[in-house]
């Protein structure tokens, strides 16, 4: 009983305090006041006299004195541009303010004298703060109940750099930055087509983060676009700090180690996916674009596959899928063979492994787990560590854990080899997100192998497959086009058929009205060499 | 929903924890049996001799700690009333569980095979899920199985591997030892139309030294060594005869088991003057019945090269080659006839003529099946045709011997 | 009946996996000795006929499950009884196949592990799958079919190039005339595996293009029949008739006989993969059908909720149906083949079809 009352009391108390706080702020009216000083007071109060809110008041004219203020957030704007094209003209050209006071000439003012990008009137405070905080410059004029918001965004930003995680030898070398405008422009530069549509919204009650949906009208499925829009609109959260927030709030299945949304930092990957009918989501402040719907096989498609010739691309894809399998069941298979199925390896090999295991005090499972965990710690330490001491880690890792452990007879060399191969195989997956899930599932496989040998591994594998096929990403089955099997799209899965043979966009992902992506007979048909020669000699 | 997942997880983990790995066996707890020998002692009990691999001594002192040198294999033996009994009784002596999945060699002593036959002992091996039916079966010729198992050979550290390689080599280079595995032995034991042949193995040299590590390491000429020695003919599960040399090779010809062999032919009164190496051979055995009498025809096709000549002969001349071919055909035919004759004497159809008849004329076979070996087979008419071809003559055409002769 | 659709290709895959599931592993049709492969081909032809009977019935009632159309054909109460018997049959078969696979695993690889644990674990995975519905089962089938297909092809290639195939073992053909072959066909291969396809009567209503059902079913049965024929022929030609008949698992012995270059040998994992993947679908489909049948007959809204309780029933049943493997197998080949398979796989569907045929004729006549 007591806690109930307590709770109630507390609730009442907080309500009260909220009320008082609200009443403090409550004198922020909805509409902008004609008086400049009142307006400036409101701004100062609302922003808590923050030092980065710069207010410059200009007094000019003869009689009467005209007053106007330019308000902006320091660091979000291009100060140079504001000085040159806003403050300078206002100070030097006396007629300008005069013009501002005459309400009917306002349009003329913005059109003729302000050389900044977009200028539009603002009348209520909510909008004013929104534009101010997102980097616009506000012009307030004494006596007018209209404010002007001029776009002069600027400030320090990271420049476009080479991609750091999705590296490729061939292909464009630029990656997204933290600025959403730059990112969208980078994609726009690749797809110069009016059908590339962008919808913007602000998500995050406190952060007011810019989020944009990008898709190609006519190629993207309208249902998917609607679904994306619906799920984004549903989000009601105080902050969106990174695209990962959005991803976690809109994904289909939450209890899964597998990502159902694709992330990329490369504009060319984004463009390629948009052209297959996917929808991209950009979040301001995040150098990763989200792409949906994502397919499992998509995480094995490196961008270079499409730039290099198909035979080589197919071979590398095979390697990647193989590497994924190894990274999943490598240590598990080792455990199963050495503790359950010693009959399954050739005698000579068994003798070698047995000789190594003879002096090791632990069971194979414990040994493998120790090494795996040691490796995971090493990797985690490597990521979070200042770059300067990076080399220490590798020395400690290689010498102490590798050499030392073997020489002390705590682990056998065979285990170290298996763990090392698994680790390397794990790095061969092009997508970091899927590589992480493989890391996680590997431990489950190891446990099942330790308990039931291959029976456990195979049952685990069946569970994994069942789980994978039961996943969906924005309504599309995750394992498409393998299951459900779509023969026409099989050309871009584990194999990659030549570009001229992939006539259709992926079914189920792109719009069904417009499935063809290239003309007939795209296979190069060069003339026979003799014909070429003739032409040349003439 | 969450509770269900939790439940599933709970079931999974508890089952796996309770189950506690019934079948899990760590490698250091296993004694890998590489070869197994079966004898019978005076008291009429089976004696099993187990060659167990000592992994660290096979690979050498890799682990730093347990290095040093010791014998690569250890031998244990025990006695019992039947095979399973023998294997179980060994546990009183071995610190590790015996593990048979890598047993590649099964040695049966000659005495046992002659007196009691091999029929009674094979079931245990076939039934056991660990034991592989691909294990090779040999019979210890003129020695006990135990002695063979105990021998430490040079070259290959694991004795069983050494034996298997020796026998396989003999088969593929000389064609005299058609190796058989357990599965084949049982197959032929059961089949009334074909009797098994099992390779023989004997210990040559001083038996006392065989078990010493120095035998394998001490000197360049080991004092005791294992040799492929003849083929045992088994009838009704019992050893009835040993065949050697050319007879063995003749059997190989009929069985289509010759990968490569040599045929020495005489040339103008000179004995074994030309050596013909068989590179490829194909034998077809067909059976047909004529007026109720089964008849077997064997067709042998052989291709090969000239390996060596010790008489001056012009190998450029196709006529000469044709003559050589005819000689080769004759020699092979003789070997084959010798082998068949020997088998008929033993009243043992080791060639599978019965099976051939079964395939071509099942009705007739059903009539003759019961006393095929004893009545029909010894009287069986066998027709042998041989086709031999000399394909190449090596790097030289004429031998330098002909130059020598000219110079004289 | 859940709201789900499967494609014709998915049906094909499911039929093939179901047919091959256990038939690949057990000594099949070996009463006919070296003519076992012939028996399988004949059984396949019979299987076509039985499938077409079921398809015809599906054609008359394309939207409802057999448990429902039985009531329409022979009347409400009798139809319900019949449907109930079918559900019992499916449950019994689920338990049987679970036992089959458990026994195989215990004898071939896990001799010290209790059968109960092996079965329980297998059923747990199957329950997990079944709860996700037929669509997920079908998609899983597509992926794993691909893996099994690769295994089959590579296994066959290995067997052929290791040179252990001796076609002489398949001769003489028809040693004792056609009678033993026909007898084995009508006592064994017609029912296992081909007659078992009666479970697909319960799956057919999920097909998204019902017109393709006929062709798909016949193709799938044909494909699995040919694959089985090939495997049985290879088993016999590698092991010989005698050994094949004595083997509990001829395929395991065949795979163990592969020896290539001292390296590609001891490929038992092939057998285990085939065993578990095949068993998964066989048990899974029987189980699914039993559950949908119950849900349909007793008007359960959510069939997936039945999965856990039914799983426990089947687990207990699978342990208790026989006291040892020999008893289990002899029950399977002698006791149940005529009294159970014949009515459930042949007599009832055929008589249902005849009644349905006349009913429809009458309707049309009116």
Checking DSSP bridges between strand C264-265 and strand B105-109, what pairing results, if any? Answer: unpaired
Domain of A128 in residue numbering reads as: 26-151
Q: What is the mean pLDDT of residues C103-112?
A: 86
Q: What is the mean pLDDT of residues B376-381?
A: 85
Q: What is the mean pLDDT of residues A337-343?
A: 88
Q: What's the confidence (pLDDT) of residue B66?
A: 43
Task: Clarify whether residues B274 and B408 are in a common domain.
Answer: yes
**Best mutation site among A256, A342, A366 for testing chain B: the one with the most B CBs within 10 Å?**
A342
Rounded to a whole number of angstroms, the distance from the CA of B169 to the nearest CA of chain A is 19
Task: Clarify whether residues B202 and B348 are in a common domain.
Answer: no
CA–chain centroid gap for B324, Å, is: 32
| Total count of domains within chain A | 3
Residue B123, token pair as written in the block: 């079931």
- Identify the band that residue A115 occupies on the pLDDT scale cut at 50, 70 and 90: low
Which of C107, C109, C256 comes nearest B133 by C-beta?
Answer: C256
Q: Are C258 and C265 in contact (CB under 8 A)?
A: yes
The DSSP code sequence of A480-534 is TTTTTT-GGGTTBTTSB--GGG--BPPTTTB-TT--B-S-S--S--PPPHHHHHH
pLDDT surpasses 50 at A219: yes
Q: Please identify among residues 68-107 of chain C the ones whose CB lies closer than 8 Å to any CB of chain B.
A: 107
Query: Given A477, A512, A529, which residue is the final one in a domain?
Result: A477
**Strands (DSSP E) along A4-77, which ranges?**
53-60, 66-73
Among chain A residues, the shortest Cα distance to B28 is held by: A358
**Best mutation site among B359, B360, B365, B369 for testing chain C: the one with the most C CBs within 10 Å?**
B359
Residue C242, token pair as written in the block: 């005698």
Task: Clarify whether residues B315 and B236 are in a common domain.
Answer: no
Checking DSSP bridges between strand B381-392 and strand B293-309, what pairing results, if any? Answer: parallel
Query: ∠ at Cα B270 (B268, B271), nearest 5°?
Result: 125
Q: What's the confidence (pLDDT) of residue B199?
A: 87
Q: What's the confidence (pLDDT) of residue A15?
A: 44
Q: Are B275 and B306 in contact (CB under 8 A)?
A: yes
Task: Clarify whether residues B195 and B252 are in a common domain.
Answer: no
Residue C85, token pair as written in the block: 């018997």
Q: Is residue B249 part of a domain?
A: yes
User: H or E segment at B238?
Assistant: strand B238-243
CB-based burial label for C120 (10 Å; 0-12, 13-18, 19+)? buried
| Cα–Cα nearest to A181, from A134, A216, A139 | A134
Task: Clarify whether residues A282 and A335 are in a common domain.
Answer: no
Task: Clarify whether residues B254 and B167 are in a common domain.
Answer: no
- Cα distance between residue C205 and residue A100, in whole Å: 76
Residue C175, token pair as written in the block: 């040693």
Placement of tokens 């008489």 in the chain? B311
pLDDT surpasses 80 at B349: yes
pLDDT surpasses 60 at A480: yes
- Identify the band that residue C271 occupies on the pLDDT scale cut at 50, 70 and 90: confident
Q: Is residue A37 part of a domain?
A: yes
Task: Clarify whether residues B236 and B249 are in a common domain.
Answer: no
Query: Given A440, A460, A477, which residue is the final one in a domain?
Result: A477
For B115-163, the pLDDT digits (tens) are 888 888 888 888 887 888 888 899 988 888 888 888 877 767 777 888 8
For B319-345, the pLDDT digits (tens) are 888 988 998 899 899 989 998 888 888
Q: What's the confidence (pLDDT) of residue A375?
A: 87
Residue B221 CB contacts under 8 Å (≥ 6 apart), including other chains: none
CATH code at position B318: 3.30.300.210
Q: B10 CB near a chain C CB, below 8 Å?
A: no
User: How far is the CA of A330 from the CAs of A67, A297, A336, A417, in angstroms?
Assistant: 75, 21, 10, 10
Kindly report the average pLDDT of chain A as a whole number. Answer: 83
Which of A345, A462, A468 comes nearest C125 by C-beta?
Answer: A462
For C357-366, the pLDDT digits (tens) are 888 888 877 6
Q: Look up residue B92 and give its DSSP letter.
A: G
Q: Is residue A158 part of a domain?
A: no
Placement of tokens 């979070």 in the chain? A384
**Which residues of chain C neighbour B129 with C-beta distances below 8 Å?**
107-109, 111
- Cα distance between residue C326 and residue C319, in whole Å: 14
For A402-452, the pLDDT digits (tens) are 788 888 888 888 898 999 999 999 988 888 888 888 988 999 999 889 888
- C36-60 vs C213-246: helix axis angle to the nearest 10? 150
**Which residues of chain B neighbour C259 with C-beta distances below 8 Å?**
134
Task: Clarify whether residues A285 and A324 are in a common domain.
Answer: no
Task: Clarify whether residues B228 and B251 are in a common domain.
Answer: no
Query: Given B202, B218, B243, which residue is the final one in a domain?
Result: B243
Which of A452, A454, A466 comes nearest C129 by C-beta?
Answer: A466
Q: What is the mean pLDDT of residues C321-344?
A: 80
- Cα distance between residue B351 and residue A276, in whole Å: 68
Residue C199, token pair as written in the block: 């479970």
User: H or E segment at B7?
Assistant: helix B2-19
Task: Clarify whether residues A202 and A62 are in a common domain.
Answer: no
Task: Clarify whether residues B249 and B380 are in a common domain.
Answer: yes
Checking DSSP bridges between strand B261-267 and strand C264-265, what pairing results, if any? Answer: unpaired
Task: Clarify whether residues B261 and B228 are in a common domain.
Answer: no
Rounded to a whole number of angstroms, the distance from the CA of A322 to the nearest CA of chain B is 28
Q: Which of A64-68, A447-451, C102-106, C305-309 has the lowest mean pLDDT?
A: A64-68
Placement of tokens 């902050």 in the chain? A239
Q: Look up residue A65 and give its DSSP letter.
A: P
- Cα distance between residue A495 and residue A316, in whole Å: 9
B76 - beta bridge partners? B50
Length of chain C: 366
Task: Clarify whether residues A371 and A468 are in a common domain.
Answer: yes
Which of B19, B23, B102 comes nearest A347 by C-beta?
Answer: B102
Q: Is residue A346 part of a domain?
A: yes
Q: Is residue B285 part of a domain?
A: yes
- Identify the band that residue A530 occupies on the pLDDT scale cut at 50, 70 and 90: low
For B172-218, the pLDDT digits (tens) are 888 777 788 888 888 888 888 888 888 888 887 766 666 666 666 55
Q: C265 CB near a chain A CB, below 8 Å?
A: yes
User: H or E segment at A4?
Assistant: helix A2-25
pLDDT surpasses 60 at B313: yes
- Identify the band that residue A16 occupies on the pLDDT scale cut at 50, 70 and 90: very low
**Best mutation site among B8, B17, B20, B26 for testing chain A: the one with the most A CBs within 10 Å?**
B26
- Cα distance between residue B379 and residue B197, in whole Å: 21
Exposure class string for B314-324: b at 16+ Cβ within 10 A, else e: ebeeeeebeeb
User: How far is the CA of A170 from the CAs of A264, A268, B375, in angstroms?
Assistant: 17, 12, 81
Q: Is residue A537 part of a domain?
A: no
Q: Look up residue B316 and give its DSSP letter.
A: T
Task: Clarify whether residues A280 and A351 are in a common domain.
Answer: no
**Which residues of chain C neighbour B12 with C-beta distances below 8 Å?**
124
Q: Is residue B169 part of a domain?
A: yes
Dihedral sign from CA coordinates of C26, C32, C36, C38: negative
Task: Clarify whether residues B212 and B268 are in a common domain.
Answer: no
Interface touch A455/C109, C-beta < 8 Å = yes
Residue A184, token pair as written in the block: 């969208």
Task: Clarify whether residues A366 and A457 are in a common domain.
Answer: yes
C259 - beta bridge partners? C265
- Identify the band that residue A460 occupies on the pLDDT scale cut at 50, 70 and 90: very high
| Long-range Cβ contacts of C322-328 (<8 Å, 24+ apart) | C322/C99, C325/C103, C325/C107, C325/C248, C328/C96, C328/C99, C328/C100, C328/C103
User: How far is the CA of A515 from the CAs of A218, A220, A484, A505, C365, in angstroms?
Assistant: 10, 10, 18, 5, 48
CA-based max dimension of chain C: 75
Length of chain A: 538
Task: Clarify whether residues A427 and A357 are in a common domain.
Answer: yes
- C76-108 vs C8-23: helix axis angle to the nearest 10? 60
Query: Given A446, A477, A508, which residue is the final one in a domain?
Result: A477
Residue C259, token pair as written in the block: 């020896």
**Which residues of chain C neighbour A456 with C-beta distances below 8 Å?**
121
Query: Given B209, B243, B277, which residue is the final one in a domain?
Result: B243
List of domains in chain C: 8-365 (1.20.1740.10)
Query: A215 or B360: which carries more pLDDT confidence?
Result: A215
Strands of A262-264's sheet, edge to edge? A196-203, A209-216, A279-283, A289-292, A262-264
Q: What is the mean pLDDT of residues A462-488?
A: 90
- Cα distance between residue A35 and residue A42, in whole Å: 11
**Which residues of chain A neighbour C128 with C-beta distances below 8 Å?**
463, 466
Task: Clarify whether residues A345 and A450 are in a common domain.
Answer: yes
| Total count of domains within chain B | 2
Interface touch B26/A448, C-beta < 8 Å = no
Where helices occur in B78-224 by DSSP H, the ranges are 83-89, 110-115, 122-127, 145-150, 159-169, 182-190, 213-217
- Identify the band that residue C98 occupies on the pLDDT scale cut at 50, 70 and 90: very high
pLDDT surpasses 50 at A251: yes
Query: A452 or B19: which carries more pLDDT confidence?
Result: A452
Q: What's the confidence (pLDDT) of residue C290?
A: 93
Interface touch B129/C111, C-beta < 8 Å = yes
Q: Is residue A260 part of a domain?
A: yes
Percent of chain A at pLDDT > 90 equals: 30
Neighbours of A209 (CB within 10 A): 22
Query: Given B193, B209, B243, which residue is the final one in a domain?
Result: B243
**Which residues of chain A neighbour B21 with C-beta distances below 8 Å?**
339, 450-451
- Cα distance between residue B341 and residue A424, in whole Å: 65
Q: Are C195 and C225 in contact (CB under 8 A)?
A: no
Secondary structure (3-state) at B48: strand
Domain of B392 in residue numbering reads as: 245-408
Task: Clarify whether residues B219 and B267 are in a common domain.
Answer: no
**Strands (DSSP E) along A349-491, which ranges?**
472-473, 476-477
**Which residues of chain A neighbour B26 with C-beta distances below 8 Å?**
338-339, 357, 363-364
Residue B374, token pair as written in the block: 């004893």
Q: Is residue B407 part of a domain?
A: yes
Which of C7, C139, C276 comes nearest A455 by C-beta?
Answer: C276
Q: Is residue A4 part of a domain?
A: no
List the helix and strand counts (H, then E) for chain C.
Answer: 13, 2
Task: Clarify whether residues A260 and A186 are in a common domain.
Answer: yes
Task: Clarify whether residues B258 and B175 are in a common domain.
Answer: no
Exposure class string for B102-128: b at 16+ Cβ within 10 A, else e: bbbbbbbbbebbeeebbeebbeebbeb
Residue C314 CB contacts under 8 Å (≥ 6 apart), including other chains: C91, C94, C95, C98, C123, C287
pLDDT surpasses 70 at C354: yes
Q: Is residue B251 part of a domain?
A: yes
Chains in touch with A (≥3 Cβ pairs < 8 A): B, C
**Strands (DSSP E) along A293-365, which ranges?**
none
Q: C333 CB near a chain B CB, below 8 Å?
A: no
Task: Clarify whether residues A136 and A59 are in a common domain.
Answer: yes
- Cα distance between residue C261 and residue B250, in whole Å: 27
Q: Is residue A304 part of a domain?
A: no
Task: Clarify whether residues A206 and A62 are in a common domain.
Answer: no
Task: Clarify whether residues A287 and A351 are in a common domain.
Answer: no
Where helices occur in B299-361 by DSSP H, the ranges are 318-346, 353-360
Q: Is residue A388 part of a domain?
A: yes
pLDDT surpasses 90 at C123: yes
Q: What is the mean pLDDT of residues A73-102?
A: 76
pLDDT surpasses 70 at A61: no
Neighbours of B150 (CB within 10 A): 21
Q: What's the confidence (pLDDT) of residue C176?
A: 79
């Amino acid at each position: 009983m007591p806690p109930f009352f307590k709770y109630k009391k507390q609730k009442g108390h907080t309500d009260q305090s909220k009320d008082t706080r609200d009443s403090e702020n409550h004198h922020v009216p909805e509409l902008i006041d004609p008086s400049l000083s009142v307006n400036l007071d409101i701004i100062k109060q609302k922003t808590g006299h923050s030092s980065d809110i710069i207010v410059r008041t200009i007094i000019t004219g003869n009689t009467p004195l005209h007053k106007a203020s330019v308000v902006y957030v320091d660091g979000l704007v291009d100060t140079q541009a504001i000085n040159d094209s806003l403050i300078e003209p206002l100070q030097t050209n006396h007629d300008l303010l005069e013009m501002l006071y005459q309400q009917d000439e306002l349009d003329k003012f913005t059109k003729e004298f302000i050389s900044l990008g977009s200028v539009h009137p603002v009348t209520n405070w909510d909008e004013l703060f929104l534009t101010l905080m997102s980097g616009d410059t506000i012009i307030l004029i004494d006596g007018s109940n209209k404010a002007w918001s001029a776009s002069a965004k600027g400030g320090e930003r990271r420049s476009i750099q080479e991609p750091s995680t999705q590296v490729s030898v061939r292909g464009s070398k630029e990656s997204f930055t933290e600025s959403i405008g730059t990112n969208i422009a980078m994609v726009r530069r690749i797809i110069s087509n009016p059908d590339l549509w962008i919808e913007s919204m602000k998500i995050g009650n406190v952060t007011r983060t810019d989020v944009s949906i990008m898709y190609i009208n006519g190629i993207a499925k309208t249902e998917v676009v609607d679904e994306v829009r619906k799920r984004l609109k549903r989000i009601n959260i105080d902050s969106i700090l990174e695209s990962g927030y959005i991803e976690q709030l809109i994904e289909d299945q939450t209890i899964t180690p597998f990502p159902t949304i694709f992330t990329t930092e490369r504009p060319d990957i984004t463009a390629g996916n948009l052209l297959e009918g996917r929808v991209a989501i950009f979040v301001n402040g995040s150098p990763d674009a989200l792409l949906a719907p994502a397919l499992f096989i998509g995480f094995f498609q490196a961008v270079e596959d499409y730039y290099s010739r198909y035979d080589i691309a197919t071979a590398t894809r095979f390697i990647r899928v193989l590497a994924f399998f190894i990274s999943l069941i490598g240590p598990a298979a080792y455990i199963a063979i050495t503790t359950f199925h010693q009959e399954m390896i050739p005698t000579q090999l068994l003798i070698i492994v047995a000789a190594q295991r003879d002096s090791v005090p632990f069971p194979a499972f414990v040994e493998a787990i120790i090494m795996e965990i040691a490796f995971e710690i090493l990797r985690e330490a490597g990521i979070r560590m200042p770059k300067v001491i990076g080399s220490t880690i590798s020395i400690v890792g290689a010498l102490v854990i590798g050499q030392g452990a073997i020489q002390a007879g705590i682990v056998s060399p065979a285990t170290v080899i298996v763990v090392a191969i698994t680790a390397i195989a794990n790095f061969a997956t092009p997508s970091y997100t899927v590589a992480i899930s493989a890391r996680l599932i590997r431990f489950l496989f190891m446990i099942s192998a330790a308990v039931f040998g291959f029976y456990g591994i195979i049952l685990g594998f069946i569970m994994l497959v069942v789980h994978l096929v039961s996943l969906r990403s924005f309504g599309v089955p995750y394992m498409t086009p393998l299951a459900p099997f779509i023969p026409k799209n099989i050309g871009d899965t584990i194999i990659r058929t030549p570009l001229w043979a992939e006539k259709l966009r992926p079914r189920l992902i792109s719009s069904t009205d417009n499935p063809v992506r290239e003309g007939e007979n795209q296979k190069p048909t060069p003339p026979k060499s003799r014909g070429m020669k003739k032409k040349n000699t003439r | 929903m969450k509770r269900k997942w939790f439940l599933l997880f709970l079931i999974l983990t508890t089952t796996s924890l309770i189950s506690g790995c019934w079948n899990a066996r760590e490698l250091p707890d296993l004694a890998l049996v590489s070869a197994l020998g079966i004898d019978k002692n005076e008291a009429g009990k089976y004696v099993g001799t187990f060659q167990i691999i000592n992994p660290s001594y096979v690979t050498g002192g890799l682990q730093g700690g347990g290095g040093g040198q010791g014998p690569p294999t250890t031998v244990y033996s025990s006695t019992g009333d039947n095979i399973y009994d023998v294997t179980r009784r060994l546990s009183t002596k071995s610190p590790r569980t015996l593990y048979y999945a890598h047993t590649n060699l099964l040695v049966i002593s000659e005495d046992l095979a002659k007196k009691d036959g091999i029929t009674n002992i094979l079931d245990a091996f076939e039934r056991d899920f660990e034991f592989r039916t691909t294990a090779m079966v040999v019979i210890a010729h003129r020695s006990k199985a135990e002695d063979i198992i105990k021998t430490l050979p040079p070259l290959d550290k694991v004795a069983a591997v050494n034996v298997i390689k020796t026998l396989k080599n003999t088969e593929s280079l000389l064609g005299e030892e058609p190796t058989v595995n357990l599965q084949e032995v049982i197959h032929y034991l059961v089949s009334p139309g074909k009797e098994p042949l099992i390779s023989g193995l004997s210990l040559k040299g001083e038996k006392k030294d065989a078990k010493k590590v120095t035998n394998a390491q001490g000197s360049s000429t080991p004092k005791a060594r294992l040799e492929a020695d003849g083929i045992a003919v088994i009838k009704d599960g019992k050893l009835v005869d040993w065949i050697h040399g050319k007879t063995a090779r003749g059997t190989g010809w009929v069985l289509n088991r010759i990968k490569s062999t040599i045929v020495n032919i005489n040339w103008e009164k000179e004995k074994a003057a030309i050596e013909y190496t068989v590179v490829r051979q194909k034998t077809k055995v067909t059976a047909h019945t004529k007026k109720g009498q089964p008849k077997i025809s064997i067709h042998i096709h052989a291709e090969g090269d000239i390996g060596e000549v010790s008489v001056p002969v012009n190998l450029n001349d196709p006529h000469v080659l044709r003559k050589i071919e005819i000689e080769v055909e004759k020699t092979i035919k003789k070997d084959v006839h010798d082998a068949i004759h020997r088998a008929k004497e033993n009243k043992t159809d080791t060639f599978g003529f019965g099976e051939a008849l079964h395939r071509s004329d099942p009705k007739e076979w059903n009539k003759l099946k019961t006393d095929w070996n004893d009545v029909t087979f010894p009287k069986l008419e066998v027709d042998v045709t041989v086709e031999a071809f000399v394909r190449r003559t090596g790097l030289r055409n004429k031998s330098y011997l002909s130059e020598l002769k000219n110079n004289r | 009946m859940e709201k789900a659709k499967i494609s014709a290709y998915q049906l094909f895959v499911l039929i093939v996996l179901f047919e091959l599931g256990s038939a690949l592993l057990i000594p099949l049709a070996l009463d006919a000795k070296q003519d076992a492969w012939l028996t399988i081909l004949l059984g396949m032809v019979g299987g076509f006929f039985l499938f077409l009977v079921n398809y015809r019935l599906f054609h008359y009632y394309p939207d409802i499950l057999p448990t429902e159309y039985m009531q329409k054909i022979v009347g409400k109460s009798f139809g319900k009884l019949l449907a109930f018997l079918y559900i019992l049959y499916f449950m019994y078969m689920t338990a049987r196949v679970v036992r089959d696979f458990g026994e195989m695993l215990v004898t071939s690889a896990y001799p010290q592990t209790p059968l109960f644990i092996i079965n329980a674990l297998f059923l747990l995975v199957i329950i997990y799958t079944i709860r996700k519905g037929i669509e997920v089962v079908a998609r899983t089938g597509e992926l794993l079919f691909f893996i099994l297909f690769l295994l089959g092809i590579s296994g066959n290639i290995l067997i052929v190039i290791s040179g252990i195939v001796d076609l002489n073992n398949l001769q003489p053909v028809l040693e004792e005339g056609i009678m033993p072959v026909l007898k084995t066909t009508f006592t064994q291969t017609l029912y296992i595996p081909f007659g078992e396809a009666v479970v697909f009567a319960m799956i057919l209503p999920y097909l998204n293009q019902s017109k393709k059902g006929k062709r798909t079913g016949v193709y799938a049965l044909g494909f699995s029949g040919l694959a089985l024929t090939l495997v049985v022929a290879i088993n016999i030609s590698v092991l010989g008739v005698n050994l094949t008949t004595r083997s509990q698992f001829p395929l395991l012995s065949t795979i163990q006989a592969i020896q290539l270059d001292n390296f590609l040998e001891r490929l038992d994992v092939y057998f285990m993969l085939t065993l578990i993947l095949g068993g998964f679908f066989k048990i899974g489909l029987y189980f699914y059908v039993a559950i949908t049948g119950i849900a349909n007959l007793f008007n359960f809204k959510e069939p997936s909720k039945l999965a856990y309780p039914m799983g426990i029933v089947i687990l207990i049943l699978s342990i208790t149906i026989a006291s040892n493997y020999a008893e289990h197998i002899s029950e399977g080949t002698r006791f149940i083949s005529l009294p159970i398979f014949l009515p459930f796989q042949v007599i009832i569907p055929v008589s249902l079809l005849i009644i349905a045929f006349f009913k429809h004729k009458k309707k049309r006549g009116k």
